[in-house]
Structure 1
């Protein structure tokens, strides 16, 4: 559950791909009453990261994500606005506290090449991943967080998920420079 400075309560509901009901969003943000009841349709719906499913086997193996898996990031400002980004690109969408689109911030980011050889994978995981087309690059964005002054801090991947560049952004998407 999320509480904003405007006394708005929001339930963050995640559905895992393996157990998702038909028609359920993968991640949804619902407004709650003071009693904790969902009061309307979701304010915001975003995609959740996909899982890689194991190949048929006699062993119990669960679906798994990988460090390069693309996913949705969501941050909330003090006034209840939603900042969202699908990590494949630096394209931040901003919605008001009612889930209405306000604006978008875009920054061109050169994505780093992904070398699958850096991962120490079991033979089982290697065979499981062989079923899928692997991305050629790391995602553009690793994380994004709002601070107590509503500056959005975005970490972009420069070489791998261990090498990041972080910059802060003010209202309107103006960069305050890398850290």
Structure 2
């Protein structure tokens, strides 16, 4: 996906107190900035020589039937009873399925009233509530996972935004909900052409349920990087899949996991934003980013001009996604030479130790891992209809 922006010119002993290394291999070649970190576990190729084998066994498809037709599917969530909630981006509703694949009901509809949506950005089950984030309206709606009744709504616009100097005038556009219902909110500065080039960062603050932003910043991460150019005297900027951006994910105990772009390095912060530890897998090799290949893949004149003029990174981003399951594991998709697949690494979320890894088609993205199952979004090649497919996880 390419996002465009047109700008009007504006005038276990796994780490030690400094740097740790596992004992299965000699010290690997590690970037200097990782050597300088504290409490980092470095895994080498010897640490992945004997890992578990994972098999995903097909169990159930959740899709269209004679009674309901699903549109373009977005976020997916599963409760502890195995009920499936899936966002329909076309119909602006949430479909609900029972574990056996039978269709139960739908929640909400398009609109601006209570329990209605414009753009459903994410779903999250907390206890017996389904938390629905509508980023277009900056609204949270909470529904019962048993009766599906609307329990509450909340405007997500912070009430004290302009009282914190660093984020005055910024746009609260990235929301990560915690298990206590509080939000980790990323604030994007207003993007102007003269300041969009180069590396920029996004501050994250904690927002209480009363919509008050805590004054102490939690973390700061790298923002999307843009490629820019001028066409017909008009400045343009765009992001591409190869432009790096930090990945943020919150664990079930509200620790904050942050991955950068160039390395298989994951940093962990406590819920207050204090750095705790990190782990780095040196055996992962980044995929070279070749300008000539990009020019071949992006024939559009504007794209080619951006790519020719850009100071490109040497490699593609290391990681594409991070997911947490409910068994203290983190599932990480890595970018490899074959662009038809991702190589998924399943790690212990405390130590970063590799449990298993496997290849999986990009066309069947993993969305949720819950109750010993993986849920993917898949598209029928003949009909074009999308469905959610459940697989049972088998580790040997």
TM-score (norm 2): 0.41
Higher radius of gyration, 1 or 2: 2
* Structure 2 equivalent of residue 18 of structure 1: 192
* Structure 1 equivalent of residue 260 of structure 2: 86
5 Å matches for 1:5-44? Answer: 5-15=179-189, 17-18=191-192, 26-44=201-219
Unaligned runs of 5+ in 1: none
Q: Would you tell me which structure has more strand in proportion to its own residues?
A: 2
Q: Take 1:46 and 1:103, find their aligned partners in 2: how far apart are those partners?
A: 16
5 Å matches for 1:72-83? Answer: 72-83=246-257
Of 213, 223, 236, 1:48 maps to 223
Q: Which runs of 4+ in 1 moved over 4 A?
A: none
Helix, strand or coil at the partner of 1:39: coil
Q: Take 2:269 and 2:352, find their aligned partners in 1: how far apart are those partners?
A: 14
TM-score (norm 1): 0.85
Determine whether 1:174 maps to 2:353: yes
Give the drift of 1:17.
Answer: 4.3
Give the drift of 1:132.
Answer: 1.5
5 Å matches for 1:1-179? Answer: 1-15=175-189, 17-18=191-192, 26-58=201-233, 62-108=236-282, 109-114=284-289, 115-159=293-337, 161-170=339-348, 171-179=350-358
Relative contact order (alpha carbons < 8 A, sep ≥ 6): 1 or 2 greater? 2
Number of equivalent positions = 175
Q: CA RMSD in A?
A: 2.3
Q: What do residues 32-73 of structure 1 show as CA deviations (whole Å, max 9, x unaligned)? A: 2221011222201101121111225245x6410111111101
Q: Does the 8 A contact of 1:17 with 1:26 survive in 2?
A: no
Give the drift of 1:135.
Answer: 3.0
Unaligned runs of 5+ in 2: 1-174, 359-396
Give the drift of 1:177.
Answer: 0.6
Q: Take 2:178 and 2:317, find their aligned partners in 1: how far apart are those partners?
A: 29
Give the drift of 1:7.
Answer: 4.2
Q: Take 2:353 and 2:221, find their aligned partners in 1: how far apart are those partners?
A: 25
